[in-house]
């Protein structure tokens, strides 16, 4: 395996680094979304029932314990419940805008790695072919078979390595983007429900 990677030449170094960084991002985001989903399920299961019983204290405590973007939005809504409807909605929308980057963390980087790895593989292919033609030009019709084989190996190995990094990165990037969109819709829905509960309670006072 090491000899195969070594045959790809110096271009393999940035490709391997891209692969390691992409792996870190994928693992980190998977853990984040699993934990967030688990915590949000606890939050959504209890927050509306607390609000129905006017138990704001328990609701605030739960949001602080959960500490997810959705929990932070609900907490901000509860802390602003004595404001006017317009101000309340504006504050909640602003808080949602502040929380969305937590879901999108490192996703742009992952998408960039997918593109860069493909281009690096292509660069390795080009440089390998240049070396192969150089060998042919220097040695006549066939050139030195060993040097020719090394140049061809560099061209092929870098292409394969680049695709091995790029394809999983692209797949997981698209998967995480779909998760982000789902969480944003969920956050907006819950925030709307909480606002309606708060406004309904305030109008009944």
Q: What is the mean pLDDT of residues 9-22?
A: 92
Cβ neighbours for 69, distance < 8 A, ≥ 6 positions apart: 36, 99, 100, 102, 103, 183, 187
Q: What is the pLDDT of residues 77-108, one digit of tens each?
A: 999 988 998 999 999 999 999 999 999 999 99
Tokens of 40: 């949000």
Is residue 204 exposed (0-12), middle (13-18) or buried (19+ Cβ within 10 Å)? exposed
Is residue 191 exposed (0-12), middle (13-18) or buried (19+ Cβ within 10 Å)? buried
Total structural domains within the chain: 1
67 — pLDDT class (breaks 50, 70, 90): very high
Range of the domain at 116: 2-204
Q: What is the mean pLDDT of residues 33-58?
A: 92
**What distance, in Å, lies between the first and last C-alpha atoms of the chain?**
73
Looking up tokens 């805008």 gives 97
Alpha-carbon radius of gyration of the chain = 27
pLDDT of residue 41: 94
Q: What is the pLDDT of residues 143-202, one digit of tens each?
A: 556 665 666 766 788 889 999 999 999 999 999 999 999 999 999 999 999 999 888 855
The CB density around residue 44, as the number of other CB atoms within 10 Å, is 17
């Amino acid at each position: 395996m090491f000899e195969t990677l070594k045959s790809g030449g110096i271009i393999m170094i940035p490709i391997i680094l891209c692969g390691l960084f992409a792996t870190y991002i994928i693992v980190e985001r998977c853990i984040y979304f699993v934990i967030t989903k688990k915590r949000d399920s606890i939050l959504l299961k209890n927050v509306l029932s607390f609000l129905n019983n006017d138990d704001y204290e328990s609701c605030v405590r739960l949001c602080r314990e959960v500490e997810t973007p959705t929990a932070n939005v609900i907490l901000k809504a509860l802390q602003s419940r004595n404001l006017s409807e317009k101000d309340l909605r504006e504050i909640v929308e602003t808080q949602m805008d502040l929380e969305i980057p937590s879901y999108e963390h490192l996703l742009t980087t992952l998408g960039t790695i997918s593109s860069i790895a493909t281009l690096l593989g292509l660069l390795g292919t080009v440089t390998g072919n240049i070396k192969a033609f150089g060998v042919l030009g220097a040695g006549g019709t066939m050139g030195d078979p060993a040097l020719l084989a090394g140049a061809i190996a560099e061209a092929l190995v870098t292409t394969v390595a680049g695709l091995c990094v790029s394809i999983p990165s692209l797949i997981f990037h698209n998967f995480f983007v779909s998760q982000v969109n789902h969480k944003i819709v969920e956050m907006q829905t819950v925030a709307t429900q909480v606002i309606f509960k708060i406004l309904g309670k305030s109008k009944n006072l």
